[in-house]
Amino acid sequence: MTRLQQPADAAGAGGAASADDFYSGTRAALAGGTTTVLNLAAPRPGEPLVAAFDRWRELADEKVCCDYGLHVAITSWTDKTAAEISQLCSERGVNSFKMSMADVHQLSDADLLKVFTHCKKIGAIAQIHAENGDAVREMTSRLLSAGVTGPEGLALSRPEAVEAEAVRRACMLAAQVGSPLHLPHLSSPAAVDEVSAARRRGHIVYGAVTAAALATDGTHYWNRCWRHAAAHVTVPPLRPEPATPDRLVDLLASNDLHCSASDHCTFTSEQRAVGRDDFTKIPQGIGGVEERMAIVWEKVVAQGKMDPMRFVAVTSTNAAKLFNLYPKKGVVAVGSDADLVVWDGETSRVISASTHHQRCDFSVFEGQTVRGVAEWVVSRGRVCVEEGQVRAVQAAGRFLPMAGFAPTVYLRVQQRDKARAPRSVDRSSAATDGGPGAPPSVAPKEPPSPETETDGTVPPQPPSPAAGDGGHHPSSPDTPDSGDIMGSRVPKRTAVKVHAPPGGRSAGSFW
């Protein structure tokens, strides 16, 4: 997810419009090997959701260099919200909605349940910014009263436990109504552990990690240079424990996280200076759309923790399937869009704000040496990067409608609903004879854990004009060992009885 062209009146913007608009942001994405972005479209106060979507479409269409889709933010719940969400899904090609559990657009648990229920009804994906807003407000007030006004206050007011609690609560609320849930920018191992625990309980939950969280940490908030410290301000914050990035890398490599993201929203040092005396006024957001692919390659693949096939899955295919954009995007196949990347995994480069393609003057990845360069990038058959040189064209990208009921997600949801349908106990005299010795009814069991289930594999579908690109760069055709944890494109029989397969018994699939 990106937040390109975020307006100055957006929550957490500190009165500053983001430095990267749809042109510079998508150009930077192509430079890094990303051929599609999914951007957040947030309404202004009082603005109808459909009108907000149309406004964002107009802003993007005239600038994007690559294909894009839109998530829509739900900032409040009214009597009209359900109808607006339905219209966006059926008429505008929106199949995911993002809510916040903190800050100015914090929704109550009751409202979240309403959103989750309606998202499930229309086949959409609910996304959550997970932090305990009440705890954040209280700790922020105490810190400011104590004279803590610098960027370190952000980390102190939003500790790991605040994120982990909200993730656990969001998973529980979504599970109560059987809604799938996506957490797009997890920043702490404790939060990821909650996602893993929810999946072990049988809940349909997906998690993503940002490039910044994989590559750097929150110790920078205590840097004596205010400009340096403020440049790392984002929410949820980077974690001050230096071992956190390595731990998140391991969680991505072990399938506890299903994909990588950027949450790209950049600001200049001058824009951030508005919060010099109050950390709550520092514009929130950092970069990553250009660096994401190289960071994942360097931190995970180059270290031997992930093979190139799983690299394709976590940077492209899994997201394409989650947002119902597969197989139009996220795979190299007949009928799919001609989105191709020639990736050089051996060439190294040093990341620097002086050479990146973004409009901000600081990079949280400054000075890091990474292996992995997009030598050639092709978007729908059009060469956008040639031997490392960007050849992007403004307004060449297109909007990608995303239909509801993504099969990889909702076939499993529907099967769960059948298996878990509530049944009342028959207490009629004919059934029990009315006596104290009547046989007891059997209580329903909790759903099985993912380790005991099939992987949610769905048969291949022909590319549809309404399908778009939720992946972030093209993938190779799926194979059984491709590392695609969202289900393979290769059709499989639903059950095969094997007593002694070669290599020993299987431990079961991840999903």
Instruction: Determine the 3-state secondary structure of 322 from DSSP.
Output: helix
Instruction: Say if CB 351 and CB 370 are below 8 A apart.
Output: yes
What is the SS3 assignment for 267-294?
Answer: CCHHHHHHHCCCHHHCCCCECCCCCHHH
Chain centroid to CA 508: how far?
A: 26
Strands (E), 189-326: 205-210, 259-261
Q: Could you give the angle at which helices 109-122 and 81-91 cross, rounded to 10 degrees?
A: 30
* Cα–Cα nearest to 364, from 287, 282, 457, 419: 287
Which pTM does this prediction carry? Answer: 0.87
Say which DSSP state 65 is in: S
Strand order in the sheet with 36-41: 36-41, 67-73, 96-100, 125-129, 181-186, 205-210, 259-261
Say which DSSP state 164 is in: H
* Cα–Cα nearest to 170, from 264, 242, 98: 98
**20 Rama class: left (phi>0) / alpha (psi -120 to 50) / beta:** beta
Q: 205-210 and 259-261 as β-strands: parallel, antiparallel, unpaired? A: parallel
Instruction: Determine the 3-state secondary structure of 140 from DSSP.
Output: helix
CA–CA distances in Å: residue 63 to residues 5, 21, 25, 257, 387:
10, 8, 10, 32, 24
Instruction: Say if CB 311 and CB 298 are below 8 A apart.
Output: no
Note down pLDDT in tens along the chain; length 511 residues: 999 999 999 988 889 999 999 999 999 999 999 999 999 999 999 999 999 999 999 999 999 999 999 999 999 999 899 999 999 999 999 999 999 999 999 999 999 999 999 999 999 999 999 999 999 999 999 999 999 999 999 999 999 999 999 999 999 999 999 999 999 999 999 999 999 999 999 999 999 999 999 999 999 999 999 999 999 999 999 999 999 999 999 999 999 999 999 999 999 999 999 999 999 999 999 999 999 999 999 999 999 999 999 999 999 999 999 999 999 999 999 999 999 999 999 999 999 999 999 999 999 999 999 999 999 999 999 999 999 999 999 999 999 999 999 999 999 999 999 998 888 888 887 665 555 656 666 676 665 544 434 333 333 444 444 433 334 444 333 333 455 656 644 444 444 443 444 444 333 332 3
CA–CA distances in Å: residue 171 to residues 199, 319, 418:
9, 19, 20
* CATH superfamily membership of 22-390: Metal-dependent hydrolases (3.20.20.140)
- Adjacent-strand bridge partners of 98: 73, 127
Instruction: Say if CB 289 and CB 32 are below 8 A apart.
Output: yes
What pLDDT was estimated at residue 178?
97
Instruction: Determine the 3-state secondary structure of 207 from DSSP.
Output: strand
For residue 28, the surrounding DSSP H or E stretch is helix 22-31
- The residue count for the chain: 511
